[in-house]
Structure 1
Amino acid sequence: MQALKETNFHFPQQTGFYRGKVRDVYYFQDKLALVATDRISAFDVVLPRAIPYKGQVLNQIAAKFLEATKDVVPNWVINHPAPNVTIGKQCETYKVEMVIRGYLAGHAWREYSAGKRTVCGVPLPEGLNENDRLPEPIITPTTKADEGHDEDISREEIINQGIVSEEEYQQLEAYTKALFQKGTELAAERGLILVDTKYEFGKADGVIYVIDEIHTPDSSRFFYSEGYQERQDAGQPQRQLSKEFVRQWLIEQGFQGKDGQQVPEMTDEKVAEISQRYIELYEQVLGETFSPQPYAQDLEALKNSIASNIF
């Protein structure tokens, strides 16, 4: 199985290039082309093996949700010339990721179970169990690191440090809540619960846009609605759709991204299994059959799809 681990294109009017954990970004005068590669990261570490079709899966899920929420919050998208490419407005990115949680899961649960009752300055009540619904959704932002680990940060720290002005941060909070509400409604139509997610925002010509991907299994966690309460009452794990299965496998292999830990080997079988899980996630979240495109074998066509939509 082939996978697209990276691209190394050069365009005549290109003004910059950035390689993130999983995306390659090509900058032009007022636009950018985002290539969702098949790289995979966990615990803020890029894993050695790329996962076939992962980029296509995530880019197409994001495309669907960005289209479905554009009447709620303006977004950066201009078009999608290839299954794993998005052309969009070039924005000045806010240096925070807006994480919003409707349930106590993942990182928030790990903090809570360690005895903390405040996450990113937000107090949590006593007596909660893993995966319990929170009294109301909470926003637990993180700093946006170009490299290394994102760090939890409070609303007050963001404003006091001048990372985002108070007025603009209030707008980011309002947009985050509105997107989460719409995402919750869309998930419910598919028999899913949107547990938590993160949004990134940028600004262009005085307008704030949601950027990057939204409501994908890499940026979000979904539970199945059916049987949720029964499993909670019985103290059983929830059936979920997210990248958590990758994190759990890494934890079982003794890796959590900490200093001195060795990334476990990913066999061909494990890579194929993860690829299939991503395809299943696509089909469950969107209710559509996934049709893979063999782009990894034709980089020239991928490059041309960008060039023809930029110039």
Structure 2
Amino acid sequence: MQSENQSVQLPILRQKQVSLTIKREDLLHPLIAGNKYRKLKYNLAAVKAQGFETLLTFGGAFSNHIAATAYAGKLHRLKTIGVIRGEELSQKWESNPTLKLASKNGMQFKFVSREAYQEKHSKAFTDTLRQEFGSFYLLPEGGSNTLAVKGCEEILTPEDAQFDVICCAIGTGGTIAGIINTSGLNQKVLGFPALKGDFLKEDIRNFTTKDNWRLQGDYHFGGYAKVSAELIHFINDFKKQTKIPLDPIYTGKLLYGILDLIKKDHFKPKTKILAIHTGGLQSITGMNPILKKKNLPQIAI
């Protein structure tokens, strides 16, 4: 399954003589869209091949990965368990659209404190989960493992060799690692982290040996799921001008960053940029009530 490339027409692009194309991975599947479709593809094949009946994974309140895994489990008749960051959500998860959707698709939740969540990679934590839930296929937070990277290596096609720069939002690093692996040596890959911190570089290096990439760490807007009125106005204006919807956690920040760099003459004239739309639009439904409480503008749906 392949997505389509959509050319973007904006005055700033004409002014700076830079072209911008968006790869619409968000259109791959209505509920398992974007990079989640790619990451789950080979992991689901491994679940079946290894005879597992249960899939356990990790995520937060707005996790696209949690929502996609729950639906994929339902589709493939697998039991799914989501270890969710934040004990306080155990009392109010039904008011969270992402978790409500995942539950509707059969996912069972285990809510843990943020401190306990930090131990999710430890053997002791995994052993405790196996004692509680029995045998399961373990999928890391965000779905990023070797098989996920293999799936993400299929995002770029031979036709994408024409682009000089490939830009991608980053959560856990698996998607950009796959893109780096299939990018041309003459191409530059730019990653836009949704989280604060420098740890992602090492995570990405676990999955690639190439060095034609770097991170742009100035566009996280305060960290994961943090937004501002400026970002929301940008997302709404971008949709109005291009008809392309963006989410506030990943792709909104990605495109904001790309266009800001273009304004600042970061790219030479005639540079051809490809931005990967990794989906994540389901998070808008959960974000809007929070924005309303903070007296911030709503994201147009």
**Structure 1 length normalisation: TM-score?**
0.29
Q: Higher strand fraction: Structure 1 or Structure 2? A: 1
Judging by fraction of residues, say which structure has more helix.
2
TM-score normalised to the size of structure 2?
A: 0.30
Q: Which has the higher contact order (CA 8 A, sep 6+)?
A: 2
